[in-house]
Amino acid sequence: MKLFFKLACSFIFLLMLFSGSVHALALGMAPGVRDMGDVVRGENIAVEFYLTSNTNKPLVVGLAYIPVHMDMYKTEKRTYYTFIPSESSEEDISKWITFPQNPILVTPGSQKVVHLPDGTAVKFNQKVTAILHVPKDAEPGYHAGAINLKPIIQEEGSSGTSISTIGITRFVFVFKIPGPAYREGTIIDFVAERNAKEKVRVDVLFKNTGTTTITASPEKITIFDNYGVVKDNIAAGQIKRIAPGKTDIISGYWHDSNGIDSGNYRAEATVNYITGSATKESTIHIPAQITIPDIPDVSTENEPPWWFILIIMALIGLYIYWRMD
* Full set of structural domains in the chain with CATH: 21-181 (2.60.40.10), 185-286 (2.60.40.2360)
Mean pLDDT, 10 residues at a time, the chain of 325 residues: 43 40 66 92 94 80 92 91 96 96 84 77 85 97 94 56 55 96 95 90 94 92 86 79 95 88 91 94 90 58 58 64 55
In this predicted structure, what is the pLDDT of residue 155?
53
**Whole-Å CA distances, 153 to 61, 110, 166:** 9, 20, 11
Please answer whether residues 204 and 193 qualify as being in contact, where contact means their C-beta atoms are separated by less than 8 angstroms: no
In this predicted structure, what is the pLDDT of residue 316?
67
Whether the CA torsion 257, 260, 266, 269 is positive or negative: it is positive
**Closest alpha carbon to 214 in 257, 278, 309:** 278
Antiparallel, parallel or unpaired: β 104-106 and 59-66: antiparallel
Give me the phi and psi of 80, to 5 degrees please.
-80, -20
CA distance 232 to 52: 53
What's this model's pTM, rounded to 2 decimal places?
0.76
In this predicted structure, what is the pLDDT of residue 308?
61
Whether the CA torsion 147, 237, 214, 33 is positive or negative: it is negative
CA distance 304 to 310: 10
CA distance 317 to 131: 39
Contacting residues for 130 by C-beta, under 8 A, at least 6 apart: 46, 47, 48, 63, 65, 97, 98, 99, 147
CA distance 176 to 132: 12
CA distance 308 to 253: 35
In this predicted structure, what is the pLDDT of residue 118?
73
In this predicted structure, what is the pLDDT of residue 219?
84
One-letter amino acid at 29 equals M
In this predicted structure, what is the pLDDT of residue 317?
61
Q: E-strand spans in the chain?
A: 22-30, 33-38, 44-53, 59-66, 97-98, 104-106, 112-115, 121-124, 126-133, 141-152, 162-168, 171-177, 185-196, 199-208, 214-224, 230-234, 240-242, 247-255, 263-272, 277-286
CA distance 7 to 186: 62
Please answer whether residues 208 and 185 qualify as being in contact, where contact means their C-beta atoms are separated by less than 8 angstroms: yes
CA distance 139 to 36: 16
CA distance 186 to 276: 10
In this predicted structure, what is the pLDDT of residue 35?
94
